Amino acid sequence: MTCIQSRLLTLLAALIAFPVWAAQGFTFDSIDGGTLSLDDWQGRPVLVVNTASRCGFTPQYDGLQALYDRYRDRGLIVLAVPSNDFRQELSTAEEVKEFCAVNFDLDMPMTDITPVRGPQAHPFYRWVAQQSGFTPAWNFNKVLIGPDGQITATFGSATRPLSTQMTRAIEATLK
């Protein structure tokens, strides 16, 4: 074996031992201005939830905030992604931000209003569909990304944020 072959095998072994973070490169426009990058949370679990202000599931914001409060010190990020794909979101990001602040006192990261399905879907949601076959069927669908950037679990609207199913999945991803 040549020196070059040996080095290539060593490099290949290192790449296998340390897989590339799968969810890399996805950015969202922040509801506060600027951008939110999933790369900033590499190595941490991220729960991404498509939300809406005028939905029967909107009270889940309380549970999402409680989940974030419970696990944030252990690394969990909860990212709310307001979407009007199901025609239940307010007209502007400013209205959404005010609604969430007044009614739910949210301090979790939140994106601007973002498409989550169909041809206009955000690249993150297109990647989720490609990787797992999961596409939000309604508001408050949840995608759990593990610390390695892989999709760990997906949940429909009816799965409550503090349900045993959800907390077990999250706890399995925590350090």
In the predicted model, is pLDDT for residue 20 greater than 80? no
- CB 76 within 8 Å of CB 48: no
User: What is the secondary structure of 92-150 as a DSSP string?
Assistant: SHHHHHHHHHHHH---S-BBSS---SSTT--HHHHHHHHHH----SSTT-EEEEPTTSS
Q: What is this structure's pTM?
A: 0.88
In the predicted model, is pLDDT for residue 28 greater than 50? yes
Give the confidence band of 21 by pLDDT, cuts at 50, 70, 90: low
Domains and CATH numbers, the chain: 20-173 (3.40.30.10)
Give dist(CA 168, CA 165) in Å, integer: 5
* Average pLDDT, integer, range 89-111: 96
pLDDT tens-digit readout, 30-62? 999 999 999 999 999 999 999 999 999 999 999
| Interacting residues of 10 by C-beta distance below 8 A, sequence separation 6+ | none
pLDDT of residue 24: 74
Give dist(CA 26, CA 42) in Å, integer: 11
pLDDT tens-digit readout, 55-91? 999 999 999 999 999 999 999 999 999 999 999 999 9
Active site residue 55: yes
pLDDT of residue 145: 96
DSSP classification of residue 76? -
Residue 90 or 2, more confident: 90
Look-up of token digits 């696990």: 71
Q: Which of 22, 27, 55, 150 is catalytic?
A: 55
In the predicted model, is pLDDT for residue 22 greater than 50? yes
In the predicted model, is pLDDT for residue 15 greater than 50? no
Give dist(CA 46, CA 72) in Å, integer: 10
Mean pLDDT of the chain: 91
Distance of CA 157 to the CA centre of its chain: 14
| Interacting residues of 152 by C-beta distance below 8 A, sequence separation 6+ | 45, 144, 145, 146, 169, 172, 173
| Interacting residues of 54 by C-beta distance below 8 A, sequence separation 6+ | 88, 89, 90
